[in-house]
Structure 1
Amino acid sequence: MSRRLRVGVIGAGSIASGVHIPNYKRHEDRVELAAVADVNRAKAEACAARFGISGVYDSYEAMLREAQLDAVSICTPNKFHASAAIAALEAGCHVLCEKPPAMSYEEALRMEQTAQRCNRLLTYGFHYRYAEEVQVLRRYIEAGELGEVYMAKVTAVRRRGIPAWGVFTSKELQGGGALCDIGVHMLDTALYLMGYPEVDRVMASTYQKLGNRPGVGDWDWEQFSVEDLAVGMIVFKNGASLLLETAFAVNVGPDKTMQVSLAGDQGGADVFPLKLYQEKHGTLVDVQPVGLKAGKPRDAELAAFVDSCLGGPPPLSHAAEGTALQRIVEELYRSAELGEAIRLQG
């Protein structure tokens, strides 16, 4: 593509104005940020004025019809991911959709199938894949340094970190709470490092103990309709297992933990910060890489999306993996609702 990539943004909230748009602006030699759409036209106009965007729309349908776009970022509440992504793909656009993929496995599958049918890129905002620690550890794993990875532990926990902005506490608009907001980041990171093994069964419990009452923080506790804590276990068909703990609010310390730990028969690792644990020459050793770049994974993710749209390598996050993740999340919630383990079929 000789001309600049024409990009539109659907949703003018904080993730658009704080991450997607500033990153597109950094690539103005290759990107023309052409339009922004939001159902709240005043918000779209304010965003466009702030960043010098000429096209302003109060519906993404009109934007996709009129703005002649090559690519789109979807920064809406989760409820609207699928409809916006499918419309953009069918309009001939490549799509970067924020996480989680959708509200259901069926929606995510339709998004993936639409991308295949339209021959367009569909990638998701799993930016932790772009962290230097993750990429270094992936190379260690591919070289056999951990051997057979048979256990993972995922932690995405805030002692008190219920979002007071956006719609993160609305089940209707988001589909869930801590699990589908911060939990999916660490879950995807673990699955990515493990090679996205096929799931056999899941078991989970969810709790709403702190978010629906007044406490330390300024969220609207009377409108809190999601889980503040989710715990679960995933067993894979290759025999490996994964333990999950994710919370917006729970009475544990420290204040915030975002961590993935892996155990293999030749070594193990914690990812953030990266540290490896092995047995060498008759002794136990800890290996902590030095000199890792302190880059910004979100910036790397947006740059990779632009590269991919312009004919470069594919992004690290693929639509099929997003579909697989969405199914796991859905079955974890279903297990918690039913109070029993769920075995995945097919």
Structure 2
Amino acid sequence: MSGRPRLAFLGLGWIGRHRLEAIHHAGRAGIAMLCDPSTDAVASASALVPAAMTGTTMDDILARADDLDGVVIASPSALHASQSIAALEAGLAVFCQKPLGRNAPETRAVVAAARAADRLLAVDLSYRHTAAMQAIRPLLQQGDLGEIFAVDLTFHNAYGPDKPWFYDARLSGGGCVIDLGVHLVDLALWCLDGQRVTGVTAQLFAGGRPLPHRTGDDAAAVEDFAAVTLTLEKGTVVRLACSWKLPAGRDAVIGAAFYGTGGGAAMRNLGGSFYDFTAERFDGTAAQALASPPDDWGGRAATDWAARLADGAGFDPDCERLVTLAEVLDRIYAGGVDVREQARPGTVD
């Protein structure tokens, strides 16, 4: 389709409401339907778009699929894959919160459904859209930093999620890696031309104690700290550290640093902020500023999807990267074992 797409929103908690407001204010799509099990959440969102239809579940959206062009999904992780597939099979484009699936088989099934339906699918990997990463990626793509041999990724959150399902791997897919680390692993693979991951080592902890790796129907415990090393096909070493509830002395420590034979570059958060980032280019001991706050980046992934949908975009082959990303996470959870053909609990058949 082209023109002004009609969108439904499923899940109107904090992040769903934020993406609703971003798309509404961008003006490239119409907000046609609001759905959430909480009548209070629906009522609050309806104040912004009073003409929108309302409902509570994906079934309500599917019943009105002929009146819609796409759906924005911000429901609990366990529902993402099945809801996305249902929407795509009904002919709706999908913008989904991460993770798209709790494992690679779920993710692969959603991407296959998008391909079969020729519908635009995107996931809210929002850090790609920060001004900081938009400044750094071209340096890497153009070879300005030489051969990249090391990448350091950090995402420590002094808090943990406030909903119980996050702490059950059968519902969430995992802990801090799939919740936070996914953003930074995505950035590394996205910036480095999707290089194949040839090696994975991972140490996962829960409450300060090592957590056994999962390869099948294992315990539902999730990690709150992870130290991961990925080796890429060109020899680049990527180190990831991420956590929930780490006593870091500030709300958050977030960064992605790239080091090459011709220099380095890094994005870092300022003062423990979850939202304010700088980007710098390094040459020996010298640093050059590339980007700094303010930068209202949080809704850009959603508004970009809505704009592409308005322009008539169908299936985007780039979303195949989502499967690769999920495969890497599965290998992390398996402690480095290649589990691309192995499903963790919750596989969509």
Superposition TM-score tier, normalisation by shorter sequence: 0.7 to 0.9
The one-letter amino acid paired with 1:245 is A
The one-letter amino acid paired with 2:222 is V
The one-letter amino acid paired with 2:296 is K
For residues 121 and 90 of structure 1, the distance between their equivalents in structure 2, rounded to whole angstroms, comes to 12
Structure 1 residue 144 displacement after superposition: 1.7
When normalised by structure 1's length, the TM-score is 0.84
The one-letter amino acid paired with 1:187 is V
What SS class does the counterpart of residue 289 from structure 1 fall into?
Answer: strand
The one-letter amino acid paired with 1:229 is F
In structure 2, the residue matched to 1:152 is: 151
For residues 192 and 293 of structure 2, the distance between their equivalents in structure 1, rounded to whole angstroms, comes to 23
The one-letter amino acid paired with 1:50 is A
Structure 1 residue 287 displacement after superposition: 3.4
Unaligned runs of 5+ in 1: 212-223, 279-283, 336-340
Native 8 Å contact 1:304 1:315 kept in 2: no
Structure 1 residue 325 displacement after superposition: 1.0
Q: 2:169 aligns with which of 141, 147, 171?
A: 171
Q: 1:342 aligns with which of 329, 337, 343?
A: 337
In structure 2, the residue matched to 1:69 is: 68
For residues 78 and 221 of structure 2, the distance between their equivalents in structure 1, rounded to whole angstroms, comes to 15
Structure 1 residue 317 displacement after superposition: 10
What SS class does the counterpart of residue 289 from structure 2 fall into?
Answer: coil
| Pair 1:207 & 2:212 matched | no
Per-residue CA distance 1:49-108 (angstroms, 9 max, x = gap): 333253222221231221421111110111111011111111111111111221110010
For residues 165 and 288 of structure 1, the distance between their equivalents in structure 2, rounded to whole angstroms, comes to 41
For residues 182 and 44 of structure 1, the distance between their equivalents in structure 2, rounded to whole angstroms, comes to 25
Structure 1 residue 210 displacement after superposition: 6.1
Native 8 Å contact 1:200 1:343 kept in 2: no
Unaligned runs of 5+ in 2: 210-219, 269-277, 342-349
What SS class does the counterpart of residue 334 from structure 2 fall into?
Answer: helix
In structure 1, the residue matched to 2:185 is: 187
For residues 251 and 45 of structure 2, the distance between their equivalents in structure 1, rounded to whole angstroms, comes to 36
In structure 1, the residue matched to 2:54 is: 56
In structure 1, the residue matched to 2:279 is: 274
Residues 54, 143 of structure 1: alpha-carbon distance in 2 compared, 3 angstrom cutoff: closer
Native 8 Å contact 1:210 1:249 kept in 2: no
For residues 166 and 311 of structure 1, the distance between their equivalents in structure 2, rounded to whole angstroms, comes to 39
| Pair 1:256 & 2:261 matched | no
| Pair 1:333 & 2:338 matched | no
Structure 1 residue 252 displacement after superposition: 4.2
Residues 255, 31 of structure 1: alpha-carbon distance in 2 compared, 3 angstrom cutoff: closer
In structure 2, the residue matched to 1:298 is: 298
| Pair 1:307 & 2:307 matched | yes
Q: 2:232 aligns with which of 230, 236, 261?
A: 236
| Bigger RCO (CA 8 Å, 6+ sep) | 2
The one-letter amino acid paired with 2:226 is A
For residues 183 and 345 of structure 1, the distance between their equivalents in structure 2, rounded to whole angstroms, comes to 19
Structure 1 residue 254 displacement after superposition: 4.8
Native 8 Å contact 1:101 1:323 kept in 2: no
What SS class does the counterpart of residue 95 from structure 1 fall into?
Answer: strand
Native 8 Å contact 2:12 2:42 kept in 1: no
What SS class does the counterpart of residue 288 from structure 1 fall into?
Answer: strand
For residues 82 and 258 of structure 1, the distance between their equivalents in structure 2, rounded to whole angstroms, comes to 28
In structure 2, the residue matched to 1:124 is: 123
- Percent identity of the aligned residues? 25
Q: Which moved further from structure 2: 132-141 or 168-177? A: 168-177
Superposition RMSD in Å: 2.6
Native 8 Å contact 1:276 1:288 kept in 2: yes
The one-letter amino acid paired with 2:39 is A
Residues 229, 325 of structure 1: alpha-carbon distance in 2 compared, 3 angstrom cutoff: same
Native 8 Å contact 2:330 2:340 kept in 1: no
Structure 1 residue 251 displacement after superposition: 3.9
In structure 1, the residue matched to 2:84 is: 85
